[in-house]
Chain A
């Protein structure tokens, strides 16, 4: 079902007219209210009056995480502080967190966007939404929560962690829609198995998973093990939080970007040059309606491409291909670009291999050594050494075929790789570069 038929099925022409109108007003607003943005625009020789058509967007300078850091905590807010009703922050794995704010209207828009997202996944009034995204400074929990309420579903604000209790509540409360990170969904599947809970006895029907990149293979795995439809959703706190884009259950291919609220662009990450639909590059967003924390051409570092072909669900919004990696989680090993998603792809194509893995990079002398740790499940275990060694060699060969570099597969005992309660940590890079 389409939550907002009027906007989600706008003909492209009307949509672009709306985008232009909103873009002009955004640029004027930001230019007037945020000295930092004004200075950057002046530096690039652009003023709000230069924005006459949508293509003029590319004349505006990019915004990066570094810009946000320099203005920590509230320097890029575009409204008087008393209009801010909510503050979120992204985890500061490197340095200070990124702080974002919302006005009352922003919170309303966000709820609308998440209601659309839930509808994309086929959720509706009467559903029991099991919201295992973390509540707190992270946008996932509260973002999903408000959307589910707007939809008219019953929300269980369970947050992350304590998997056994989560499963008990799923059983007792009849959860029908699961929201969490894909790695946590797999963790729940593991715990269900340990508890001898058959997912077929649960009422779960669909899961909306986001906040970390995952693959088609992981989707198959989640769908099989939890007996649900798994939908990929996308968002980031700098742009809004969850609710920026979502797959539709009809196609499960590409995530519709809610283009009446955001303009997506794909750029060449090295040159900054915008790329046409169909070409892969770095995803960039401009927020069209946000009041408290608007961003102009924010570089996400996520890699994707835009799909312009119409979708049979009826939404006219362009789709973005599921995130296949990040410009910054790319590892450079012996001069070769390696994305964890490529390793994952190899592992998941081998029968019986568990989706739990970790990539460890060390430098020995001048040489980078990549080790991939893979857990030995009952399915791949054998009493014969040669069978296990053959398996390890096969994975090594397939990785070498794909990436052109050799690595070492280390078979480890089950559950030795740390399970995710939120975002999975796939890479440990011990190189001191």
Chain B
């Protein structure tokens, strides 16, 4: 039910994002989803890729600071109110969303939203109970 996400520390200087992309491209790694959080001085790039371990290793070998976190990917119908339903469930359970990002699949009418919760197990249980479709890791890596 959980998806592995890697995160990379980036200083705010030109070319660093390109460096990450190049390292991953050379290793033949596909990026499935990404988001970049930025502050004045630094950014945190979060990625879901087709091969987490390999991506982590090649980035580390190239001198990046890399972390691995578990997140949840849910499938949401691509229409108004899809996201609202999930957030309402979380609010009722008192679960915090640390951050989230979404992407729309090429085929089919569903969007995939990646969530980072403070209490992941509790979130999974609540989402399952309310009938939200949670994607398995393999499903996301292979998207």
Contact = CB atoms under 8 A, between A and B. Distances in A.
Contact of B116 (A383, A389, A411, A416): A383
Interface string B51-84: 0000000000001111101000000000000000
Contact of A385 (B16, B44, B65, B69): B44
B11 A413 contact: yes
A389 B10 CA distance: 14
A398 B122 CA distance: 36
B11 A383 contact: no
A413 B44 contact: no
A412 B5 CA distance: 22
Contacts of A382: 7, 44, 67
A378 B41 contact: no
B103 interface: no
A82 B65 CA distance: 58
B7 A383 contact: yes
Contacts of A376: 9, 42, 65
7 contacts: A381-B9, A382-B44, A382-B67, A383-B5, A383-B7, A385-B39, A413-B10
Interface residues of B, number: 21
A271 B77 CA distance: 80
Nearest to A415: B63
Interface of B: 5, 7, 9-11, 16, 37, 39, 41-42, 44, 46, 63-67, 69, 98-99, 116
Interface in A391-433: 410-416
A195 to B, nearest CB: 12
Contact of B41 (A383, A411, A414, A415): A411
A13 interface: no
A414 B11 CA distance: 10
Given A378-B67, A381-B65, A388-B42, 13 more contacts: A376-B65, A381-B7, A382-B44, A383-B7, A383-B44, A383-B46, A384-B44, A384-B116, A385-B39, A389-B39, A411-B41, A412-B11, A413-B9
A377 interface: yes
A378 B11 contact: no
Given A410-B41, A416-B11, A384 B63 contact: no
B98 A411 contact: no
Contacts of A378: 65-67
A413 B65 contact: yes
Contacts of B37: 385
A267 B63 CA distance: 47
B10 to A, nearest CB: 7
B39 A383 contact: no
Nearest to B98: A384
Contacts of B69: 383
Contact of A413 (B5, B7, B63, B67): B63
A414 B62 CA distance: 11
A322 B99 CA distance: 48
Contacts of B39: 385, 389
Contacts of B9: 376, 381, 388, 411, 413
B69 to A, nearest CB: 5
Contacts of A413: 9-11, 16, 63-65
A288 B75 CA distance: 82
B99 to A, nearest CB: 7
Contact of A377 (B44, B65, B116): B65
B9 to A, nearest CB: 5
A381 to B, nearest CB: 5
A415 B39 CA distance: 21
B143 to A, nearest CB: 20
Nearest to A414: B65
B11 A381 contact: no
A312 B10 CA distance: 51
Contact of A381 (B41, B63, B67): B67
Nearest to B69: A383
A414 B63 contact: yes
B16 to A, nearest CB: 8
A416 B99 CA distance: 28
Interface string A74-117: 00000000000000000000000000000000000000000000
A101 B46 CA distance: 60
Given A413-B10, A414-B65, A416-B11, A384 B99 contact: yes
A326 B18 CA distance: 43
Closest 10 CB pairs of A and B: A383-B7, A383-B69, A376-B9, A381-B65, A385-B37, A381-B67, A376-B65, A413-B11, A414-B65, A381-B9
A384 B99 CA distance: 8
Contacts of A414: 63-65
Nearest to A194: B61
Contacts of B10: 413
Find the residue from B7, B41, B46 having the highest chain A CB count within 10 A.
B41
